[in-house]
Chain A
Amino acid sequence: MTHLTADREACRGAGQCTRLAPALFDQDDDTGLVVLLTDSPTEAQLPTARHAASFCPTGAITLSPP
């Protein structure tokens, strides 16, 4: 099972993840920072999760194993 994490300390609220993968990521209304909608993406969601992670400007999104 691949584990998805988002580091809110590193997040600067650019919103790339929410734009590219709205089923996996959201932005907190009060802070604008990343909110993870699931930490266990399905096999079918993995390409989208990787795509979003590769676009994050601060490397705040990680998948393990990648």
Chain B
Amino acid sequence: MQAPVVYPSKREGPLEPPAEFAVLRQGPPVWMVVPGRKPCWLVTRFEDARALLGDRRISSDDTRADYPQMAAVPPGLLSFLRMDDPRHGTIRRLLTPEFTVRRISALRTAIEDAADGLLDELAAGPRPVDLIAHYALPLPSLVICRLLGVPFEDHEFFQSRSAAIMSYDDPPEVGGRAMLELGDYLGRLIDAKTREPSDDMLGRVIAKAGADVSREDLVGIARLLIVAGHETTANMLGVSVLALLQHPDQLAALRADPTIIQNAVEELLRHQTIVQAAVARTATEDIDVGGVTIAAGDGVIVAVQSANRDETVAEDPDRLDLTRPPTRHLAFGHGAHQCLGQALARLELDIGLTRLFSRLPSLALAASHLPQARETAAVYGLHDLQVTW
């Protein structure tokens, strides 16, 4: 057997996935070293990744001793994201009516207003400015706080605690402390909403939860939605802006025909997949994947950011092409755990990009600015993006 690889994280540039993935995609899943644990499998090809994520013989349960956790988060704190059916289905179905295509579409005006409000402040302020701190992060933060019924005034607290579980260089204690603090806060909010029912997502979920859903379950749900609402769209929006600024021909195509925005968002999700080390599973039976056997009890990391640059998902996959026909990209995962909030993410990206480039048409990177990237985070993103106009 070949020597185990180290998880590729070094990038040539902020928009280029680690080059080693292209080499790894030439073959089947490989063994990978995980510090302090037994090695696990690394899946890099599109068909292997899709088949495995759709397979019922894998587990997402991070309380299993053989679960290959990479992010700095102790087991059992990420609710249904890290559960198996039927429990996963029970908890997820409390939320599915909240995230339907129709329900999310109805938020369009509210999200546009939120974007415009932030852009008013941005346009009135000094230049250059960090677009991550002043737009990409507060927009989804505002949206998820209002949707859940959580006070936006406390957003700095949520943002810092959400970010704390992302680094896979940090020990789990770091993320554990942040998750407990977030849980204490949300527990008090849930108690208040239990006493006085509110017409927001948390209020409705509390009202609907049956006897088999505990207060701890509710805290877990709220925490997952806060973390997912902060760490995904915010990073994707920041990376997307950089990608468009670095590909002026593509930005010009979008400006020439703004109706391609939905297609553009799909291509940005494929080309700049931000989920990089968060898709972890354990095989519950022996599973053949691309010619190797992943044995029962083996851990697997599915590198969706690599799978989305596979030639079987898109022709000339490294090229950003906003007019490309729809691809079956894995940016939202696949299988029973496919992203619950994907309609919201798509809408926020659509509005966030459209409003930004129409309000500030001359938007450009600040002179000589090199954005700092979060290379070793479970969800990739930029620390900062200095822009001017």
Contacts and interface: CB of A to CB of B under 8 A. Distances in A.
B101 A27 contact: yes
Interface in B88-133: 89, 92-93, 95-103
Contacts of B54: 57-59
B343 interface: yes
Given A57-B54, A57-B338, A29 B97 contact: yes
A33 interface: yes
A28 B103 CA distance: 11
Given A32-B96, A57-B54, A19 B101 contact: yes
Contacts of B98: 32
Given A14-B342, A27-B102, A32 B97 contact: yes
Interface stretch (B144-152, B188-196, B327-335, B378-386): B327-335
A28 B99 CA distance: 11
Interface in B41-70: 53-54
Contacts of A29: 97, 100, 102-103
Nearest to A29: B97
Interface string A1-40: 0000000000011111011101000111111110000000
Contacts of B340: 12-14
A18 B101 contact: yes
Contacts of B342: 14-15
Interface in B176-197: none
A55 B96 contact: no
B328 A15 contact: no
Contacts of A62: none
B205 interface: no
A50 to B, nearest CB: 12
B387 interface: no
Interface in B313-365: 326, 328, 332-340, 342-343
Contacts of A14: 332, 338-340, 342
A13 B96 contact: yes
A57 B335 contact: yes
Contacts of A28: 97
Given A27-B100, A31-B97, A57-B54, A13 B333 contact: no
Range of interface residues on A (Cβ < 8 Å)? 20 to 34
A13 B100 CA distance: 7
B97 A30 contact: yes
B336 A15 contact: no
The winner among B93, B101, B342 for most chain A CB atoms within 10 A is: B101
A31 B89 CA distance: 12
Contact of B334 (A13, A18, A30, A57): A57
Contacts of B95: 32
Contact of A15 (B89, B99, B326, B333): B99
Contacts of B337: 12
B100 A18 contact: yes
A32 B93 contact: yes
Nearest to A57: B338
B169 to A, nearest CB: 31
A2 B335 CA distance: 25
A53 B267 CA distance: 20
Nearest to A17: B101
B92 A15 contact: no
B205 to A, nearest CB: 12
B302 to A, nearest CB: 13
Given A12-B338, A57-B333, 17 more contacts: A12-B96, A12-B336, A13-B99, A14-B342, A15-B99, A18-B100, A18-B102, A19-B101, A20-B326, A27-B101, A32-B95, A32-B96, A32-B97, A32-B100, A51-B326, A57-B53, A58-B335
Closest 10 CB pairs of A and B: A32-B96, A13-B96, A57-B338, A27-B100, A32-B97, A18-B101, A14-B338, A15-B101, A32-B100, A57-B334
Interface of B: 53-54, 89, 92-93, 95-103, 326, 328, 332-340, 342-343
